[in-house]
Amino acid sequence: MAGSLTYTEGDAIAPEPRPAIIAHVCNDEGAWGKGFVMALSEKWSAPEQAYRDWYASGEGFALGAVQVVEVEDGLCVANIIGQHGIRPQGPVPPIRYEAIEAGLCEVAKRAADQGASVHMPRIGAGLAGGSWEKIEPLIEKCLVEAGVDVTVYDLP
């Protein structure tokens, strides 16, 4: 049975119902400090600390990899390594669609195991420089077709 994809106005760091996973995109440079991560860090220190520790260790830290961090009972944050660097290389933005796809497919497995829904801002379409028209089909393919309910949030 397929899941659903819903768009709503609101805050992606306050998802309901639970269990839930908040998915977002990180870079492969160990940099954390702009965009959606600021809202995450304002609410919880664990996702940033786990990301920084993961980067420092180098263990499994690569494009397409995912780190899931529990922040509250029934609520996790998925740090998806989906952008190469933090600045465009000439005309090429930092986003790596194949890494986003691999990460989302891993998040789908975690969500299915936990019976969780997935919540996110328009991942990859902000600082990563990606096109939502290319990202939305990856969400459909990896999450919705796997039976996961997804909510995408736009700020009011």
CATH at 48: 3.40.220.10
Per-residue pLDDT, averaged over 96-104, amounts to 98
Residues above pLDDT 70, as percent of the chain: 100
Q: How many other C-beta atoms are found inside a 10 Å radius of the C-beta of residue 115?
A: 10
Question: What domain range includes position 111?
Answer: 5-154
Residue 69 CB contacts under 8 Å (≥ 6 apart), including other chains: 46, 47, 50, 76, 77, 78, 79
Residue 98 Cα distances to 57, 75, 127, angstroms: 23, 26, 17
Element (H, E) at 151: strand 150-154
Per-residue pLDDT, averaged over 58-85, amounts to 97
pTM over 0.85: yes
Q: How many domains does the chain have?
A: 1
Task: Give the confidence band of 127 by pLDDT, cuts at 50, 70, 90.
Answer: confident
